[in-house]
Amino acid sequence: KAGVTQTPRYLIKTRGQQVTLSCSPISGHRSVSWYQQTPGQGLQFLFEYFSETQRNKGNFPGRFSGRQFSNSRSEMNVSTLELGDSALYLCASSWDSTITDTQYFGPGTRLTVL
């Protein structure tokens, strides 16, 4: 079974631009979660989508948004990029983020904001 895939793997943008990242979950998984990983803050939860609906959201500004399609693929968008948005963005999928489920992570998209 193929794992979680994320595209693109690397991105370089400038301040003020916007960016869209894509995540394809493991086949059959309906839940997709997004995390931001930085050296200073570590891994922080952005949001989770389940069956095309945002189910949970972390403490990030409204510039960070996402969506999920009927095939469970998910996109994450960051508008008006800031230097501090430079990070590794990780996507994780699970059948359902219930209490007994496990999240499987993709390789991430490395975003650099100049």
Partner 1 sequence: AQSVSQHNHHVILSEAASLELGCNYSYGGTVNLFWYVQYPGQHLQLLLKYFSGDPLVKGIKGFEAEFIKSKFSFNLRKPSVQWSDTAEYFCAVRGSQGNLIFGKGTKLSVKP
- By CB under 8 A, name the binding residues for partner 1: 4, 33, 35, 42-45, 48, 55-56, 58, 90, 92, 97-100, 102-108
CB of 93 to partner 1, least distance (A): 12
CB of 112 to partner 1, least distance (A): 17
Q: Give the residue with the Cβ less far from partner 1, 16 or 61.
A: 61
Under a CB-based contact definition with an 8 Å cutoff, are residues 19 and 77 in contact?
yes
84: left (phi over 0), alpha (psi -120 to 50) or beta: alpha
DSSP state of 52: T
User: How far is residue 44 from each of residues 14, 57, 91, 99, measured CA to CA in Å?
Assistant: 23, 11, 11, 19
Q: Give the residue with the Cβ less far from partner 1, 55 or 73.
A: 55
Q: Give the residue with the Cβ less far from partner 1, 42 or 62.
A: 42
How many helices, marked H, and strands, marked E, lie in the chain? 0, 11
CB of 79 to partner 1, least distance (A): 22
